[in-house]
């Protein structure tokens, strides 16, 4: 039977993390059908593979995001890698518009001698390991952990706090999470006593949030200490920050409360070092020492003073930020590591708009903000997309489902995810836990089939 009803627009969203699912939500609320693609066989991106497993309330945003996948007209196509299984051009041809929200998954480097030594790892890799990411380097992380009594964490952002907390937290706290069993086993065998956290600027310039910072000292059996009380002698640029920013003022106050803290010899110790940048990692076959240079800070950043000291460490975790990478078929700004865009519309280097291609989340603006930041960001991109498409009818196609079937791509749908979810709950229950993350890709695929 013929109908005069307009053909619904069909949009592809690449990435099933928070920004992708917030974009899908806004698009479906505006009446579009949405296919959400992800290269992994499971949805939720950094909510599953970035947020620390012991941060239950932040991870519970997954329940909200799952509701998006339950909406009529929204389909999950997980286990589909754009660039390998399907190209950006094929997506643009098959859909009325494509929104790239694939995040910033790579690590940034320190570029100091010795960074390649065994025992020197990226926080992105360490986080992937403890969250049970299927691509995690399990052997590398577990051997680095087994060798460590003292750890250096470079960087003073929220990821550095997460990593430090996971390394020092009592086992009971970690057992109440969905961490894979092998991660719990490795952490329970660890003989780490000291974690040294290095900020290259002062306490006023740290990017962690106060709640996360304070949580470190609330861990049972853990003491936090400021290594050098002179770090609290704020230089003019830092004093001005404390005056103008309440979060900074609170952070500095918390750190002040840890100055000259008495350390309990039976506890694990977290040592905060500021004005401290690593200039070399030393060791014969694996890292054993970090050479740290003292810095001074002004408006331009941190400046080395030439004065150095050494910190013994068998594990060095660089937590100096995530980095986005390009995708074949889309422009890329390799200076800022983002997809160039104007209000979410992807643009070429000359500023011309790429028709049908949009961007949201970390690959749009860089790796900043909390999960909620992505909701507003995705809504802004969707507003641009809807304004461009206006009242034009959809192309009437069914996206790339048939193409993927033709190519033999093993797609995990929402039903497949529900089977994985049930399998993870069952695995958890068999271990006396609420759920346990399945980390192996083949096991995930098998679970998706029920």
Q: Is 299 exposed, middle or buried (0-12, 13-18, 19+ CB in 10 A)?
A: exposed
Q: Are 42 and 124 in contact (CB under 8 A)?
A: no
Which range binds ligand NAP by CB under 6 A, 12-20, 141-149, 152-160, 235-243?
Answer: 152-160
Residue 368 as a binder of ligand NAP (CB under 6 A): the answer is yes
Q: Which residue is nearest to ligand NAP (CB)?
A: 157
Which range binds ligand NAP by CB under 6 A, 86-94, 205-213, 241-249, 414-422?
Answer: 205-213
89 token code pair: 């051009």
33 token code pair: 């059908």
Nearer to ligand NAP, 274 or 417 (CB): 274
Residue 205 as a binder of ligand NAP (CB under 6 A): the answer is yes
Nearer to ligand NAP, 319 or 436 (CB): 319
Q: Are 315 and 148 in contact (CB under 8 A)?
A: yes
Q: Are 356 and 15 in contact (CB under 8 A)?
A: no
Q: Are 78 and 417 in contact (CB under 8 A)?
A: yes
Q: Which of 107, 178, 194, 212 binds ligand NAP (CB under 6 A)?
A: 212
Residue 169 as a binder of ligand NAP (CB under 6 A): the answer is no
Binding mask 321-350 for ligand NAP (x = CB under 6 A): xx----------------------------
CA distances from 397 to 60, 131, 316 (A): 35, 37, 51
Nearer to ligand NAP, 85 or 227 (CB): 227
Q: Which of 32, 160, 184, 423 binds ligand NAP (CB under 6 A)?
A: 160
Nearer to ligand NAP, 111 or 391 (CB): 111
Nearer to ligand NAP, 41 or 199 (CB): 199
Instruction: For the segment 94-113, give every residue that binds ligand NAP (CB under 6 A).
Output: 110
Instruction: For the segment 244-303, give every residue that binds ligand NAP (CB under 6 A).
Output: 277
Which range binds ligand NAP by CB under 6 A, 16-24, 155-163, 174-182, 411-419?
Answer: 155-163
Q: Is 300 exposed, middle or buried (0-12, 13-18, 19+ CB in 10 A)?
A: exposed
Cα(10)–Cα(338) distance, rounded to whole angstroms? 25
Q: Are 156 and 208 in contact (CB under 8 A)?
A: yes
Left (φ > 0), alpha (ψ -120 to 50) or beta: where does 276 sit? beta
Q: Which of 201, 268, 271, 294 binds ligand NAP (CB under 6 A)?
A: 201
Q: Which of 27, 32, 186, 320 binds ligand NAP (CB under 6 A)?
A: 320
Nearer to ligand NAP, 319 or 341 (CB): 319
Which residues, in sequence order, are bridge partners of residue 282?
289
333 token code pair: 């700004």
Q: Are 276 and 200 in contact (CB under 8 A)?
A: yes
Left (φ > 0), alpha (ψ -120 to 50) or beta: where does 343 sit? left
Site of interaction with ligand NAP (CB under 6 A) = 58, 110, 154-160, 162, 199-201, 205, 207, 209, 212, 277, 319-322, 367-370
């Amino acid at each position: 039977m013929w109908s005069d009803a307009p053909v619904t627009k069909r949009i592809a969203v690449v990435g099933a993390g928070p920004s992708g699912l917030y974009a899908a939500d806004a698009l479906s609320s505006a009446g579009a059908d949405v296919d959400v693609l992800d290269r992994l066989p499971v949805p939720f991106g950094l909510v599953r593979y970035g947020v620390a497993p012991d941060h239950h309330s932040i991870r519970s945003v997954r329940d909200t995001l799952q509701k998006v996948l339950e909406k009529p007209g929204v389909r999950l196509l997980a286990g589909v890698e754009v660039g390998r299984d399907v190209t950006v051009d094929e997506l643009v041809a098959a859909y009325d518009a494509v929104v790239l929200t694939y995040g910033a998954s790579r690590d940034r480097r320190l570029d100091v001698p010795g960074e390649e030594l065994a025992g020197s790892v990226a926080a992105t890799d360490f986080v992937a390991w403890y969250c049970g990411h299927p691509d995690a380097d399990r052997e590398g992380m577990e051997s680095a952990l087994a060798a460590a009594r003292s750890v250096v964490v470079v960087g003073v952002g929220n990821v550095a706090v997460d990593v430090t907390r996971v390394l020092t937290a009592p086992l009971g706290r970690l057992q109440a999470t969905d961490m894979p069993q092998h991660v719990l086993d490795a952490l329970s065998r660890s003989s780490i006593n000291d974690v040294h956290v290095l900020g290259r600027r002062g306490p006023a310039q740290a990017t962690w949030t106060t709640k996360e910072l304070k949580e470190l000292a609330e861990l049972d059996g853990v003491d936090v200490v400021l290594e050098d009380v002179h770090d609290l002698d704020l230089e003019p640029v830092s004093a001005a920050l404390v005056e103008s920013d309440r979060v900074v003022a609170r952070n500095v106050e918390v750190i002040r409360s840890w100055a000259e803290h008495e350390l309990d010899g039976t506890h694990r110790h977290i040592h905060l070092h500021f004005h401290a940048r690593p200039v070399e990692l030393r060791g014969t076959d694996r890292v054993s020492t970090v050479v740290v240079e003292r810095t001074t800070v002004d408006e331009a950043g941190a400046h080395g003073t030439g004065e150095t000291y050494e910190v013994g460490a068998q594990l060095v975790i660089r937590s100096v930020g995530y980095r986005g990478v390009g995708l074949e078929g889309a422009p890329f700004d390799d200076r800022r590591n983002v997809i160039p865009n104007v209000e979410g519309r992807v643009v070429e280097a000359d500023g011309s708009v790429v028709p049908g291609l949009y961007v949201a989340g970390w690959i749009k603006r860089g790796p900043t903000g909390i999960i909620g930041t992505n909701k507003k960001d995705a809504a802004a991109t969707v507003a641009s997309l809807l304004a461009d498409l206006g009242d034009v009818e959809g192309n009437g196609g069914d996206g790339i489902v048939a193409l993927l079937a033709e190519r033999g791509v093993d797609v995990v749908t929402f039903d497949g995810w529900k089977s994985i979810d049930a399998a993870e709950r069952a695995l958890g229950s068999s271990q006396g836990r609420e759920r346990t993350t399945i980390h192996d890709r083949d096991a995930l695929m098998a679970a998706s089939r029920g």
